[in-house]
Amino acid sequence: MSSARVYAVEAWHELRAGLRTSLVPLMFVGLVGYLFIMLSSAEYLRDMGGADVARNSPHVVFQMTSGQSFWLIFAWAWVFAQVVTRDRAAGLHELVLSAPVSLRGLILSRYVGAIGLACILGSSSSIGFLLVPALAAIGVFPPEAVGPTPVLAIASSWALFVVPSAIGLGALYLTAALRTRSTAGPFAVAAVVILIWMVAMIVLREGDLHTDIATVVDVSGFGEAEAQTKRWTPHEKATAQLAMTAPLVINRLLWTLIPLAILAFALVRQRREALVLERAGKPSSSREESFRGTAPVTAALPPITTPSWLRATLSEARWHLALTIRGWAFRVAVALWTLMNVAGAFYHVIGHAEGPLVPRPALLAPFLIRLCYVFSVFAVAGFVGSLARRDQQSGFNEMIDATPAPLGTRVIGRAVAALALTLVMALTPTLSAWIVTGLTIPASFEPWDALLVNALVAAPALLELGAITFLVHALVRSSGTAYAASMLVAFIALVNHEIDIVSYPPAQVGIPVHVALSELAGWSPWIVTVLETGILKLSCVGLGVALAWLAYPRGTALRMVERWRGAAQQLAQGAGALAALSLIAIASSATLLREQIVVQSGFASKSEENAADAAWETRFWKEASAFSVEGGEVEAKVEPSARAARVSWKLRGVRAGAQKLHGSLRIGMDVNSVRVDGSPREVVTANEHFMVDLGGCAQSGCDVELEITIASPSWFEEGEAPWLDGSGVWARAADLLPRLGHDGERALRSPSTRRELGLTERPEPLDEKALVPTLAVAPAGQWRWSVSFSELGMSTPAEGSTTQGLDFAVAWLPRDAELRQLRQEGITAWHGPSRSDTAREVLEDIQKMGACVRARLGSIPAVTTVVQAPRDLGGVRVHGAVLWLPEGDGWDVGASGAGRLKRRAAVAEALAARWLADRADLRAEPGSRWLVNGVAGWVGLECVRWSDGSDAWLALLDRRSDDVVDALGALDAPVSGLADDGAASWVAAYAPLETLAWAQAVGHAEALRAATQVADMVRSGNTVRDALARAAGPVMANHLLGPPAASDVTVAAVEGGALEARGERLQWERGGWRRVSRTFDVVQRFYDEETPPRVARVPAKLESDARFVVFDAWPSFERSPQDNVWKAGPQ
């Protein structure tokens, strides 16, 4: 037989041997099944920005094909390790390696066969996508939600992501297998690869630092695929192909060619003897002499005693744990992991693109959980699996099985060791947090937050995964299949962590509970939920260990009948008791959590929320009518320790066109009783809405008394935080009172969702005066309010009055709280003990931005207090006389840099938004977002330019432009227009930039005059749309309130040294951008404010030796502001 045929046969046998394992069916069933689960979730596609896009569209194909690499990284490690280990496991390695064939040819041929198997495994998601149309035809998927099979996207994604990764990673894994002659080397390489991926995705890409480098070092290519597809428009999501950018091409070549070069170098140096002969251990003369010196001539047998199986169990656990911790793989992994965490924290937190951020424990510890999560889940699966399989050596396992020790001794001992190992890995990031905090802000160093976050938040989730991994290895006899299954579980946990296929928190396996720690609030608001969730997860750990005990095979009990018989025996030996106790604990904690999460806190899945919104619209939408209020009094009594409040709200002069008063309620808020002109009235409450029939006084004016009770929720979604707790009260008017009127922005916007729920394509327009106020709970009137507390403590001003829309905020802390107050120029800052320097900077920013806004609008709201509100508790807002500045938005940034610029813009925007909303007595009507987001946001940007210069302003514009692209790529409903899309995320991002472009065209003074005129006319009874048409003209009003528009203007030197401006205009239509023109007017704005702006028509030659920036004279956002600038003039 020729050598070529020998090698071909070896490659075929390697492929066939892999196909005969249970890895292939497990892979296809697991990944294809999970793909179908994801595609069956319409809300998942909307969360990916695929609103009303086919579920099998190219953007899903590219993300899924590249994203499956997280699982393949470890599955392939086992596949390529078999090239070396399969013969050793069968005891045939000496025979095979002594055959008269080239060693390099033999290894390379098997490598080619393993590549074939790896590519087949990587095609599972591709085959799943090919099956989607057929499954839609038989009703598995909604036929209208499935498009044509994207064959080109499926084939190109497989060729781009699977094949190069299989070749490159396979080369690395094979090199490691040749070096270690076991699976340990390939799995160690896989762990390092995941660490590199963590740095690329979490540190570089998530921190917006060197995204090109992040693409190059990301072995999976997922980061680039996600970045491109997330920024695609809905039309592009359905039709586009991935762009072969330079970083992506370099990435594919880098991760293919360099590993092949490493493998070639290893093969050149490889010798048969290294694969056949056992390595001799290094002799230790000291140990041998010690043994000789202490061994007696005749050794006496120890006395015979009753065995202690508890002691034996602990010894088993100690032995397994010690072997793992002493092993080089674990020590290297922990050391490298710690180093990566420290470097990642420095680079991502301190060097964040929106920073620098100050790495205090409350910010750093949760970041490290997010940074470490991917590595943690796979490391737990790998190390626990290795520990569980340690005894499975030829002859050794049988010898252990023959001992008289109960099976539970071995199983529980190994389970304890596995869980202890998992706990060590969960606590490892604590050391990194201590190092970073100690090196950067030693004055703020405290050990407990980081330790508690990892022990109470991360550890239970990882222990849950560790127990499942241990159970998998007990159930599955084949080591390769067990490793693959445990990695698949880790992959599913990882994917669900990102996309929330399972959204109910107690059912999210291996996912840490949400916590948003803040300096002043501390652990108190979160500790109950954290402990209860931890108990549930630890109970699941106990159940997993009990099931592993029942399933663990002993001796030759390999047939299913024998294993069932053995399981029945273990029931009476402790496994049954452990399982029963675990089930009781699971049922108890799950019931308690359901009461707190669903009943008290109103948790609902996205589909349930949509159904509730549809029911609300069906019940109350047609009941809406215009209303007005002359004023009233609010008296609130708060009980912090009970997490409850009682509010009495008296309304005077209430008038309603349909004789009904409506209001929107928050979770935990209930209207107990209503009196109209002193007489009790029935109140209808449903779907977080209340309605009261006013009767005959609705035209002349009623006096209405509302008695309201509030119970603070016990659980909060990510991005939310508790406002009422014994550790502190952070109450805004909307927390204590219903918002009077209809919340029109609650109406569902997705046409497909509306059709599914039996609603009309679009809701009928409502009278603007029937809607809730934009930044208040009640329209303008003569209002008085007071808040009292049942416990002694310190509070911001707890009473006040206003003639504007009713809005206020009160903060309260107990007497023993570590509160600091700094007063400067009439404003008092409430802050924590570690933020004294930040408080001075915040007050300085408020003074500067206040002066800027006053210069443009003529006056500003009277702010007397700024509070360091808890993290995730709302945004930067002015509530009455209080500037609400959450910890994450204003108190984590350094003294300079992009973070401070962002804070200044947010403060100026909040001041301007409050001034405009008060001046207009603004309701949440179509177009109101143009005033409070568009005009106010533009004023915020201009104030940054005024205070920090044009370069800082342009840097901020560049980031805001990226935010618009990201928001339009993450639509959860088709775009209608700025006026009609209300609170859609793209509106808040886009409105300030289009207003800025409009202001450049008409002039700042004219833009401010028009905005003020609009506010005045709205207060007089006009709609925002009509007022803007009168102030700016109907054509401009349609542009400002219509669908988004974009411009891309560039300024560059051409031949002869002349400057030329070019560009294009684009308009959003049918889910994508349509080019409108390449010839249009632009405004040339000079850095020197004394030089008047100039207008030109592109393409145009520009003449100037001064620094300037060019903008389109059209309401739009500039896609790349940095290339609009000419800086060749004096610096």
Q: pLDDT (tens digit, 9 = 90+) per residue, 693-728?
A: 998 898 999 999 999 999 988 888 877 889 999 999
> What is the distance between the alpha carbons of residues 392 and 768, in angstroms, rounded to a whole number?
74
Q: Read off the pLDDT of each residue in 671-690 and give the average, rounded to a whole number.
A: 93
> What is the distance between the alpha carbons of residues 687 and 614, in angstroms, rounded to a whole number?
10
On the CB side of 992, CA atoms within 13 Å amount to 28
**Quick one: pLDDT band at residue 840, thresholds 50, 70, 90?**
very high
For residue 42, is pLDDT > 70?
no
**Quick one: pLDDT band at residue 373, thresholds 50, 70, 90?**
confident
The whole-number pLDDT of residue 293 equals 46
**Quick one: pLDDT band at residue 289, thresholds 50, 70, 90?**
very low
What tokens were used for 993?
């930039």
For residue 876, is pLDDT > 90?
yes
pLDDT for 738-778, tens place per residue? Answer: 999 999 999 998 888 888 899 998 899 999 999 999 999 99
The whole-number pLDDT of residue 997 equals 92
Q: Read off the pLDDT of each residue in 1083-1098 and give the average, rounded to a whole number.
A: 78
pLDDT for 899-916, tens place per residue? Answer: 899 999 999 999 999 999
Ramachandran region, residue 816 (left: φ > 0; alpha: ψ -120 to 50; beta: rest): alpha
For residue 659, is pLDDT > 50?
yes
For the chain, the straight-line distance linking the first and the last C-alpha, in angstroms and rounded, comes to 77
Least confident of 94-98, 262-266, 268-272, 1099-1103: 94-98
The whole-number pLDDT of residue 943 equals 95
* Mean per-residue pLDDT of the chain: 86
What's at 459, amino acid-wise? A
Q: CA triplet 522, 525, 527: central angle to 5 degrees?
A: 85
The correct CATH number of 871-876+883-1041 out of 3.40.50.80, 3.40.50.2000, 1.10.390.10, 2.40.50.140 is 1.10.390.10
For residue 270, is pLDDT > 80?
yes
426 backbone dihedrals φ, ψ, rounded to 5° = -65, -35
The whole-number pLDDT of residue 291 equals 43
Nearest to 1130 by CA among 1081, 1091, 1082: 1091
Q: Read off the pLDDT of each residue in 1011-1023 and give the average, rounded to a whole number.
A: 94
Q: Read off the pLDDT of each residue in 820-841 and give the average, rounded to a whole number.
A: 92
For residue 664, is pLDDT > 90?
yes
Q: Read off the pLDDT of each residue in 119-124 and give the average, rounded to a whole number.
A: 89
For residue 668, is pLDDT > 70?
yes
Other CB atoms within a 10 A radius of the CB of residue 475 amount to 17
What lies within 8 Å, CB to CB, of 113 at 6+ separation is 10, 11, 12, 13, 14, 15, 18
**Quick one: pLDDT band at residue 321, thresholds 50, 70, 90?**
confident
For residue 98, is pLDDT > 90?
no
For residue 667, is pLDDT > 50?
yes
What global pTM score does this model have? 0.86
How is the beta sheet containing 1080-1086 ordered, strand by strand? 1094-1098, 1080-1086, 1108-1112, 1125-1126
pLDDT for 607-653, tens place per residue? Answer: 888 999 999 999 999 999 999 999 999 999 999 999 999 999 999 99
Q: Read off the pLDDT of each residue in 794-820 and give the average, rounded to a whole number.
A: 93
The whole-number pLDDT of residue 772 equals 95
Percent over 70 (pLDDT), the chain: 92
The whole-number pLDDT of residue 290 equals 43
What lies within 8 Å, CB to CB, of 314 at 6+ separation is 413, 416
> What is the distance between the alpha carbons of residues 1112 and 1079, in angstroms, rounded to a whole number?
10
Q: Read off the pLDDT of each residue in 550-569 and give the average, rounded to a whole number.
A: 71
What tokens were used for 248?
């992506």
The whole-number pLDDT of residue 113 equals 92
Other CB atoms within a 10 A radius of the CB of residue 707 amount to 15
**Quick one: pLDDT band at residue 1128, thresholds 50, 70, 90?**
low
Q: Is the dihedral of CA 606, 611, 614, 620 positive or negative?
A: negative
Alpha helices in 389-406 (DSSP H): 396-401
For residue 17, is pLDDT > 60?
yes
Least confident of 442-456, 471-485, 949-963, 980-994: 471-485
Q: Higher confidence at residue 90 or residue 155?
A: 155
For residue 239, is pLDDT > 60?
yes
Largest Cα–Cα distance of the chain, in whole Å? 113
For residue 959, is pLDDT > 70?
yes
For residue 898, is pLDDT > 70?
yes
Alpha helices in 99-210 (DSSP H): 103-122, 124-137, 151-157, 163-180, 184-198
For residue 1130, is pLDDT > 60?
no
**What is the DSSP secondary-structure string of 535-591?**
HHHHHHHHHHHHHHHHH---TT--SHHHHHHHHHHHIIIIIHHHHHHHHHHHHHHHH
Ramachandran region, residue 490 (left: φ > 0; alpha: ψ -120 to 50; beta: rest): alpha
Q: Are 941 and 953 within 8 A, CB to CB?
A: yes
- Asked if the 612-817 domain carries CATH number 2.30.30, the reply is no
What's at 395, amino acid-wise? G
On the CB side of 1048, CA atoms within 13 Å amount to 12
- Residue whose pair of structure tokens reads 């995964």 in the numeric block: 465
For residue 43, is pLDDT > 80?
no
> What is the distance between the alpha carbons of residues 179 and 596, in angstroms, rounded to a whole number?
54
SS3 state at 799:
strand
For residue 495, is pLDDT > 80?
no
For residue 967, is pLDDT > 90?
no
- Residue whose pair of structure tokens reads 């490391």 in the numeric block: 379
pLDDT for 376-415, tens place per residue? Answer: 888 888 888 888 877 776 666 667 776 777 777 888 888 9
Nearest to 674 by CA among 685, 666, 687: 685
> What is the distance between the alpha carbons of residues 315 and 413, in angstroms, rounded to a whole number?
8
What's at 585, amino acid-wise? A
Q: Higher confidence at residue 50 or residue 1071?
A: 1071
**Quick one: pLDDT band at residue 1056, thresholds 50, 70, 90?**
low
Q: Read off the pLDDT of each residue in 872-887 and give the average, rounded to a whole number.
A: 94
The whole-number pLDDT of residue 485 equals 80
Nearest to 762 by CA among 752, 774, 770, 771: 752
The whole-number pLDDT of residue 537 equals 94
Q: Read off the pLDDT of each residue in 474-500 and give the average, rounded to a whole number.
A: 76
> What is the distance between the alpha carbons of residues 240 and 57, in angstroms, rounded to a whole number?
9
Q: Read off the pLDDT of each residue in 103-118 and give the average, rounded to a whole number.
A: 90
